[in-house]
Every structure is written in structure tokens, then in C-alpha cells.
């Protein structure tokens, strides 16, 4: 059973160096991107009093143009096969950034969960990367509707 989250998010991240006109130099190397899931765990992220929110922390390393658009699809799969998916678009001139992704009210079952992320650079599926992590939150409850949020670090 797939559940779609309620919204998509566009985030623009520009470092202060670009604002000051000191943009980094473009390399002659072919563009590349990599993603790593740093951590995945459950917590009470929404302050609802129940530790039923899943948090997935990702880190992206980009070698490309001066300004890059990356799109990533992040998904958690519960032991039953139920999935929750978020799609995030980021425009940035930074070579490295991390995000904290919040899946609210989704730690619904006991057992092993899988976090998965796919990213591509500037819409090019040939400049892409994936990562996954398996983790085990305890059972939660299903008293609230699910949601998704992102914090760019």
C-alpha cells in the first residue's frame, strides 16, 4: 500500500559567498552527485507526545555547475510494505549540504523499516545516486494523519 504525502517542497539554498559575488569556480570534471543516509530513527518530532515520527538525515555531495538543481525522492517502507514518500527539489551553489526529513506519524508498526533515497542532478538520471538504511523503531499508533517536512542544515 503506497501513501502519498500531502505536499511537495521547493527549497533554494545559496551560500553567503554567492551573495557577495565570490562564486566558487566551476571544475572541468563531469558533474556528479552522491547521497548518504547519515541516520534514521524514530522520535516525537511533532510534539504529539508519542514517539511515532520517523526522521531520516541525508547528506549530499555535489560536483557540478555553479548553481545546481537536485531532486531527491525519499521513502520509508514499513515492515508490512506500506510506504511513505517525499519528493524534494533543492537549488543550490553549495558543494555539500544535509537535510533532515521528517515523516510525521508514520512509525506505526514494530519491525524493521527501510529508508531509501534517490537523487539526480539537474534532472539528469545519468548523474544520480541512491542509498538505503534498515532500522528498527518500536510500534507507534495511528491516531494522526501522516505528513512530511524537511529541514536543510
Q: SS3 letters for the chain? A: CEEECCCCEEEEECCHHHHCCCCCCCCCCCCEEEEEEEEEEEECCCCCCCCCEEEEEEEEEEECCCCEEEEEEEEEECCCCCEEEEEEEEEECCCEEEEEEEEECCCCCCCCEEEEEEEEECCEEEEEEEEEEEECCCCCCCCCCCEEEEEEC
The reported pLDDT for the residue numbered 65 is: 83
C-alpha cell at 63: 560536483
Strand partners, 34: 61
The reported pLDDT for the residue numbered 96 is: 94
The reported pLDDT for the residue numbered 5 is: 43
Structural domains of the chain, with CATH: 2-17+31-152 (2.60.40.3880)
The reported pLDDT for the residue numbered 100 is: 94
Contact 129, 33 (CB under 8 A): yes
> Which of the residues in the chain have pLDDT under 70?
1-28, 137-153
Instruction: Compute the chain's Rg from CA coordinates.
Output: 17
pTM, two decimals, is: 0.76
Q: How many residues does the chain have?
A: 153
The reported pLDDT for the residue numbered 15 is: 42
Amino acid at each position: 500500500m503506497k501513501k502519498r504525502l500531502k505536499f511537495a517542497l521547493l527549497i533554494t539554498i545559496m551560500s553567503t559567498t554567492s551573495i557577495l559575488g565570490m562564486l566558487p569556480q566551476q571544475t572541468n570534471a563531469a558533474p556528479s552527485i552522491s547521497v548518504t543516509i547519515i541516520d534514521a530513527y524514530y522520535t516525537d518530532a511533532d510534539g504529539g507526545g508519542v514517539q511515532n515520527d520517523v526522521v531520516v538525515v541525508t547528506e549530499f555531495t555535489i560536483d557540478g555547475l555553479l548553481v545546481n538543481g537536485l531532486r531527491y525522492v525519499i521513502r520509508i517502507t514499513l515492515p508490512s510494505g506500506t510506504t511513505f514518500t517525499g519528493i524534494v527539489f533543492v537549488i543550490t551553489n553549495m558543494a555539500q549540504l544535509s537535510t533532515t526529513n521528517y515523516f510525521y506519524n508514520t512509525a506505526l508498526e514494530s519491525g524493521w523499516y527501510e529508508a531509501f533515497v534517490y537523487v539526480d542532478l539537474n534532472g539528469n538520471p545519468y548523474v544520480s545516486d541512491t542509498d538505503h538504511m534498515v532500522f528498527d523503531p518500536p510500534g507507534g499508533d495511528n491516531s494522526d494523519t501522516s505528513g512530511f517536512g524537511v529541514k536543510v542544515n
